[in-house]
Amino acid sequence: MKFADLVEQIKTESRVKGDDGFVPTIIGLMNELFKEAVESQNPFELRQEAVLPLTTGMPQVALPADFFIHKQVQFQDADTSRHYVLTDQDRAIPPAPRGLFGHPKSFEIAGQMILLKPAEAIVTGDSLHLVYYKFPPIVTQATLIDDNPIPRLEPFIVRGVIRRIRMVHADDLQVAQMLGGDTTSAAKAYTNDEPRRTS
């Protein structure tokens, strides 16, 4: 299905078929939902793998140009040919495997770079095996004539955009309840992440 057909279907189902003023809003929501779909649905069409070579004394390496989110990061040691999965810096970090003390145990993604910690034992020849998802398609007025490269995500995109269009367009109790649920969920997430004071 072409992006223009998706937009027309969304306009029809959300009862704004005759209003072209909603097209920029629909396009913006489609782009937002493509990103959410990649994060939650992990579409195999966008899954990629890359081997990133490391250099002595360099604790960071550039990510691929089409990188969106990571799935897994593995470190491969040049001396022993052993490889193991690195842990995201925000999680509990286990010790390095036996015999690889001082080798990286965790990683952090900052902008277009991936940083390794600790980095003292990194030598030229070591490498990272990165499993990641490419950036999803970006819909613009100019690309409406293009085909959607991931047709299986169309129901997800249509449902998500219609719900959000209804929040803007309709004035009924059900929409207010959906917004209230979203607000409560967001507030709970902030409450769970609240820092706790130590005595």
- The domain ranges of the chain are 3-43+150-191, 45-134
Q: Two tokens at 21?
A: 């003023």
**Contact between 62 and 112 (Cβ < 8 Å):** yes
Alpha helices in the chain (DSSP H): 3-13, 23-41, 154-169, 173-192
**Contact between 167 and 175 (Cβ < 8 Å):** yes
CA 130 to chain centre: 15
What does the alpha-carbon distance between residue 96 and residue 166 come to, in Å, rounded to a whole number? 51
pLDDT over 60 (residue 155): yes
Q: How far apart are the first and last CA of the chain?
A: 60
What global pTM score does this model have?
A: 0.75
At residue 129, the pLDDT reads 95
pLDDT over 80 (residue 96): no
Relative to beta strand 60-62, strand 113-117 is antiparallel
pLDDT over 70 (residue 173): no
* pLDDT digits 0-9 by tens, 114-144: 999 888 888 888 899 999 999 999 999 999 9
Peptide bond before 118: cis, by omega within 30 degrees of 0?
yes
pLDDT over 60 (residue 189): no
The letter for the amino acid at 150 is I
What does the alpha-carbon distance between residue 2 and residue 135 come to, in Å, rounded to a whole number? 19
